[in-house]
């Protein structure tokens, strides 16, 4: 599901207002027990490593990108660590995780520039227990998140917008800081600059 389609499909409360996950409509590509149990990892570590797009979905099947990452992790747990297949999956998992961490880093940068140095990590912390501060803010939060994806480069071009940042924008609205966040993100991560750099890469060099 694309960025705009996903957000526009949330006509009302996204199911996260009550802290309860909606029933998943898709099944994992790979069926297995949670691989983290064998790793002895805690929920906090799982969250910090993967930054799930839809934190309330404990099956990790509702968001396409969550399902891909989760199935990679499950698949890796079934392979010999010394095998070439394990190495490839491990690299792919690392790449996806780093992309998510880079997005989070961009958001943290803007929050700190707005003066939320001490609060940035808390504002960005979203887990399956998180709830929205005010369900009436959801419409405005969706609009701001769409503007961020379409008019700034705070998300990668191929990024599937996640429910995670809907919670963050909701918190910013409650702090009366959402509009300022968008303005600063437009300056620090401008969409035009990103497009111009891409155009330059594809412009053939001219001979004198």
Tokens standing for 195?
């497009």
pTM for this structure? 0.73
Q: What is the DSSP string of 143-188?
A: HHHHHHHHHBSSS-TT----HHHHHHHHHHHHTT-HHHHHHHHHHH
CB-CB contact of 163 with 55 (8 Å): yes
Whole-number average pLDDT of the chain: 79
What is the pLDDT, as a whole number, of residue 127? 86
Alpha carbon of residue 205 to chain centroid:
37
Question: 3-17 pLDDT, tens per residue?
Answer: 444 454 544 444 454
**Listed range (11-25, 56-70, 78-92, 102-116) with the worst mean pLDDT:** 11-25
How is residue 116 annotated by DSSP?
-
Tell me how far apart the alpha carbons of residues 166 and 140 are, in angstroms, rounded to a whole number: 10
Band of residue 132 on the pLDDT scale cut at 50, 70, 90 = confident
Is the per-residue pLDDT at 184 higher than 50?
A: yes
Q: Which residues pair with 170 in a beta bridge?
A: none
């Amino acid at each position: 599901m694309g960025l705009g389609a996903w957000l526009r499909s949330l006509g009302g409360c996204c199911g996260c207002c009550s802290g309860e996950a909606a029933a998943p409509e898709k099944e994992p590509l790979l069926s297995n027990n949670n691989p983290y149990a064998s790793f002895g990892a805690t929920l906090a570590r799982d969250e910090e490593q993967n930054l799930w797009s839809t934190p309330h979905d404990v099956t990790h099947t509702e968001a396409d990108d969550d399902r891909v990452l989760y199935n990679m992790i499950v698949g890796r747990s079934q392979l010999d660590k010394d095998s070439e297949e394990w190495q490839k999956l491990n690299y792919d998992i690392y790449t996806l995780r780093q992309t998510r961490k880079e997005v989070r880093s961009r958001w943290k940068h803007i929050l700190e520039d707005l003066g939320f140095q001490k609060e940035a990590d808390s504002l960005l912390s979203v887990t399956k227990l998180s709830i929205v501060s005010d369900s009436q803010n959801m419409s405005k939060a969706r609009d701001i998140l769409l503007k961020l994806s379409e008019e700034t480069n705070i998300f990668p071009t191929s990024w599937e917008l996640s429910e995670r940042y809907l919670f963050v924008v909701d918190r910013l609205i409650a702090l009366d800081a959402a509009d300022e966040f968008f303005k600063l993100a437009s300056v620090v991560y401008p969409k035009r600059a990103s497009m111009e750099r891409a155009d330059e890469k594809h412009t053939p060099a001219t001979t004198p």
